[in-house]
Chains A and B, each alone.
Chain A
Amino acid sequence: MSYQVPKFRHPELPVNDLGYTKADYEGSISTLCAGCGHDSISGAIVMACHELSIEPHKIAKLSGIGCSSKTPTYFLGKSHGFNSVHGRMPSVVTGAAMANRDLLYLGVSGDGDTASIGMGQFAHVARRNLNMVYIVMNNGCYGLTKGQDSATADEGSVSKKGDPNVYSGIDLCGTAMQMGATFVARSFSGDKGQLVPLIKAAITHRGFALIDVISPCVTFNNNPQSTKSYEFVREHAEATGTVDFIPMRKEITTDYDPGFSHEVTLHDGSSIHLYKMDETHDPFDRRSAINTLEDHRSKHSILTGLIYMDKDSRELHEVLETSQRPLNQLEEGDLCPGNKMLENINASLR
């Protein structure tokens, strides 16, 4: 088995605004099973970060425990990383983000790490609208412990073991919306055309951005009766529309049919172009988004794409009115401004 990717790359790899190629955003060779959907998501993260020209040292990738949580080793090899305790990634991100608001926080979790042991943390990090990207690599099973059904396995779905799941599955997108997440999307590891722009939009969004990525477990949960197999997802996925992320400074060259097209300008001047498939769904309205999600659930189809986005999202630092300078950069003089400042404050309160 190969333990290293060859050093050579395509000689004409495109470089981004920083002069980096995609290779500069790669990590070590994956040790996951061959064909694991997680590897494709890693690939999509590499592409998104490269295309957005993010400096690798400005990214922190954090994860919990599980197959999904191993993946940060396989992408962004030059970024910061923290492999935390099972289900506790959100609190570690919260602490890090509070201390240094300048980094881009990329949380990577799985369905067990999020919907079982980490459910409480997940609910609260969504509720606080922490400025982070939260990617769930969702395969509906516990791959690392031989494939037991997880909390996101759909009722009736049959894994390799052969028994249908008797419990109701947790819909992470619906849960996140209920908890107050301001960016909710679902995608499929086998569809980079959709996933990469969604990751870019999630990175640019200010606030809590969840992407629930269905990522088939080839070893334990890729049989035809499983609702999280490559075959089933391909047959049952319905996209809300196509999403195009247009970075600031780039000219919009694609022509969109104005009747079905939405353009959303983000806080940094970049924009998202949404070409909708379904006229009734308004992704900027939570009620419409929840209804659409429910409609698809009752039809047994898998809704993918951008489901909900709050254009006026206020992330945790804005809510708390914390200092613009990251806390970890404040010196003693900033934190203890001295007697004179104390007198001024006291005077203002008299």
Chain B
Amino acid sequence: MKPTDIKNPEYFHKVVDCQYACPAHTPVPEYIRLIAAERYTDAYMVNWHSNVFPGILGRTCDRPCEPACRRVRVEEDPVAICRLKRVAADNKQTIADRLPKIPEQKNGKRIALIGAGPASLTVARDLAPLGYIIDIYDNQFAGGGMMRSQIPAFRLPIEVLDEEVNYILDMGVNATFDVEVDSLRSVLDKNYDAVFVGTGAPRGKGLNLPGLEDAREHVYLGIDWLASVAFEHTGSIGKRVLVLGGGNTAMDCCRTSRRLGGEDVRVVVRSPFEDMKASPWEKEDAMHEGIPIYNNHVPKEFVVEEGELKGMLFEKVEARYDEDGNRSLVPTGEDLVFMEADDVLMAIGQENAFPWIERDLGIEFDKWDMPVVDTVTYQSTNEKVFFGGDAAFGPENIITAVAHGHQAAISIDLLCSGRDVTDRPPPQVTLASQKMGVHEWSYDNAVAPDHRYVVPLAPLEEALANRKLEVELGFDPGTGYKEAERCLNCDVQTIFEEVRCIECDACVDICPTDCITFTGNGEEEELRTRLSAPAHDTTQDLYVSADLPTTRVMVKDENVCLHCGLCAERCPTSAWDMQKFLYNVTKAGQDIPPAGEKEAAA
């Protein structure tokens, strides 16, 4: 193998598994260390710059970082990254003095944002401090988009939502609420320099089953129903509720039903339990509230007698998987199962809908009637129109919408300053030694053996009695500290300098997880078979040095490195060093101007 190019920022970025897995690439270990140091406000700001909604995400994020956490590969559970984010948000001081200054003198460029969800708000947050004039249009009475309409208050208190949405709305943006944009042409006609579409995936899918016509009064689309509860148009539901679907919306529907009078609330899903789309913790939370999940039941028919909905019929199936892992649901042949119901909530998915976008605006639509959007620039085929969030590529999650928003803001800024939108700024990277003394590091390198701490919950009875009572209480600072100490500091990298190495094997001997091998070089596939410990996981890179005096090379399997620093501590010549790698995705207006421009500016 060729010596690893550690100057390529993506190499070490990949080693920080959580940050790499995060769509917005939030520097997770960096803020976890700040939490451990009780610097909650600093930890909050690291998040705020990267993911815009730390308090909201600390409660509701889909947490793609957690399954990626290295801790999963050496013990059972990942660090509770998401809930630590909430610790930062809950314990921070005021951040008013840390928010970017909004220039009085605007730059003359006008941007329209359609929809006031997480993607649009991120665009506004990035562009307002640069002097852009921002106009937001939204059909709800306040900002937040689906965070307001679809996420129940018992998971996300309104105050938390309002606080973080208002940080952005207070940046001098012009927000127009309760307005339905029904024509993109009319927006373009106002001569905006760019338009960002962040309208989400607002249309819930329904099932057109026999009996639906007669049952219609008692059958609701999940997201619409959640919105009407959030906006206090709906305050009750029948005693027996069937929730169809296995995603997070289904979980929110069933748990909300329990709080609005539902006593026998059931989730019925076609797929096997393990294949359900809902996050494992959301399923757990639902079951904790006494909601059974019936899997392998395909809805067949609404049973209506004398004009009254009585229940539904389901066909039992079992999942079979072919050689390629494709699933088919095969009926078991048993009798149809009848379940009683007063109300039925359908939460089987949602989709985009753009009836308000005229098709002659130069915006190309594909065969699924989705706009053609560039996956890097978020630009449509009309150079002034950008898409982001669920509106761009279909339903995802908040953190993905934020990541889209940041990139779209960069594109808009490039477009408005007459530069090429495909000329993306490189990430901002620093690499700094953590050495403080002969055997001392400026990070806490001891590896805590603690198992994941459980977030305390409000008493079940109280929680079910009040739709707005937040169920999760969050970690107290003490538990937050202990959980933060579980972080392995994967951003503190092991840096190897071959010219200093005397090949004494001290690092090989001390490494608790047998990551390091000194051996002859070879092709990766073959080299992997000759390492100190098995190294099958090819998604985890090998760090390979240049040739050493004995013609061997140092090979480090990054897979289960604990970043404990013992290799560097036991190295007599400092050939190993522990260096903190800080990787920040560059935001709009943060990139260093190309050489020449700098002098011109000075």
**Separation in Å of the A290 CB from the closest CB of chain B?**
30
Cα separation A115 to B440 with both chains bound (whole Å): 37
The answer to whether B571 and A7 have CB atoms under 8 Å apart is no
For residue A191, which residue of chain B has the nearest CB?
B505
Return the contact of B570 from the options A39, A216, A234 (Cβ within 8 A): A39
**Separation in Å of the A137 CB from the closest CB of chain B?**
14
Most chain A beta-carbon contacts within 10 A, residue among B446, B515, B533, B565: B533
The answer to whether A13 and B505 have CB atoms under 8 Å apart is no
Interface size grouping (class) on chain A = 20 to 34
**Separation in Å of the B47 CB from the closest CB of chain A?**
28
The answer to whether B510 and A30 have CB atoms under 8 Å apart is yes
The answer to whether B510 and A5 have CB atoms under 8 Å apart is yes
The answer to whether B504 and A13 have CB atoms under 8 Å apart is no
Return the contact of B75 from the options A8, A29, A222 (Cβ within 8 A): A8
**Separation in Å of the B361 CB from the closest CB of chain A?**
55
The answer to whether B512 and A36 have CB atoms under 8 Å apart is no
Given contacts A8-B75, A9-B512, contact A231 B572 (CB under 8 A): no
Cα separation A189 to B503 with both chains bound (whole Å): 11
Return the contact of A1 from the options B439, B506, B510, B549 (Cβ within 8 A): B439
The answer to whether B533 and A35 have CB atoms under 8 Å apart is no
Cα separation A68 to B422 with both chains bound (whole Å): 63
Return the contact of A190 from the options B505, B512, B573 (Cβ within 8 A): B505
Q: Mark A249-278, 1 if CB is under 8 A from B, else 0.
A: 000000000000000000000000000000
Which B residues touch A30, using CB under 8 A? 510, 570
The answer to whether A230 and B502 have CB atoms under 8 Å apart is yes
Q: Mark B556-594, 1 if CB is under 8 A from A, else 0.
A: 000010101110011111000000000000000000000
Cα separation A29 to B49 with both chains bound (whole Å): 41
The answer to whether A10 and B503 have CB atoms under 8 Å apart is no
Task: Specify the main secondary structure of chain A where it touches its partner.
Answer: loop
Return the contact of B513 from the options A4, A10, A34 (Cβ within 8 A): A10
A148 within 8 A of B: no
A-B residue pair count with CB separations less than 8 angstroms: 106
B447 within 8 A of A: yes
Q: Mark A1-42, 1 if CB is under 8 A from B, else 0.
A: 110111111111100000000100000011001111101101
Given contacts A11-B74, A13-B514, contact A192 B569 (CB under 8 A): no
Cα separation A12 to B514 with both chains bound (whole Å): 10
The answer to whether A5 and B566 have CB atoms under 8 Å apart is yes
The answer to whether A34 and B506 have CB atoms under 8 Å apart is yes
Cα separation A218 to B506 with both chains bound (whole Å): 11
Cα separation A222 to B504 with both chains bound (whole Å): 11
Given contacts A34-B506, A35-B502, A192-B505, contact A10 B572 (CB under 8 A): no
B550 within 8 A of A: yes
Q: Name 20 interchain pairs, CB-CB below 8 A, sorted by A.
A: A2-B439, A4-B446, A5-B566, A6-B447, A6-B449, A6-B566, A8-B74, A10-B560, A11-B74, A11-B560, A22-B514, A30-B510, A34-B570, A36-B506, A40-B505, A43-B505, A43-B509, A216-B504, A218-B572, A234-B549
Closest 7 CB pairs of A and B: A35-B572, A6-B447, A1-B439, A43-B509, A8-B74, A10-B533, A12-B534
